[in-house]
Structure 1
Amino acid sequence: MAERGFFTGLPWWVKWVAVPLIALLVFGGLIGGVLSFLFGLLFKVLLFVALVSALIYVVRKVSRSGSRGGGW
């Protein structure tokens, strides 16, 4: 059955309020799990980039001071 035929004759709030709310109730845990995974992955990627950048900064700073006779 086509979507237009299925919703024909129903009030607007059924299409735009009730159906999305039911979908959130049914799939809310799945949507939350996916969003949680994506934000966790984004956080880990940003943390990795920050740590690698800090490592590169420290290595360059130590190498620069080490070439002048200083060092640890």
Structure 2
Amino acid sequence: MREIFTGLPWWVKWIAVPVIALVVFGGLIGSIVGFLAYLLFKLLIFVALVGGLIYVVRKFMSNSSSKSDW
């Protein structure tokens, strides 16, 4: 692979080739990043809902047990 880029200027290796790769694979990269962001958002919603449910159940259980002591 190095022999392909041997005689070329630095800007071809470090600017032109990555820009061409982004143009060709940009849609795929964008789709993957969007899907990962979607999964992360759904995971955060799941964690928040489960945490809220656990908090409410523990709060309800502690209140009901303290009232039954009377």
CA deviation after TM superposition for structure 1 residue 68, in Å: 2.3
Deviations 1:36-72 (A, max 9, x none): 01111011111101100000000010111111227xx
Return the letter of the residue paired with 2:4: F
3-state SS of paired residue (1:68)? helix
As a proportion of its length, which structure holds more helix?
2
Question: In the alignment, what sits opposite 2:38?
Answer: 40
Number of residue equivalences = 68
Return the letter of the residue paired with 2:39: L
CA RMSD of aligned residues (A): 1.1
Q: Return the TM-score normalized by structure 1.
A: 0.89
CA deviation after TM superposition for structure 1 residue 4, in Å: 1.3
3-state SS of paired residue (1:9)? coil
Q: Return the TM-score normalized by structure 2.
A: 0.91
3-state SS of paired residue (1:37)? helix
State the identity %.
65
Deviations 1:5-62 (A, max 9, x none): 1111110000000000000000000000000011110111111011000000000101
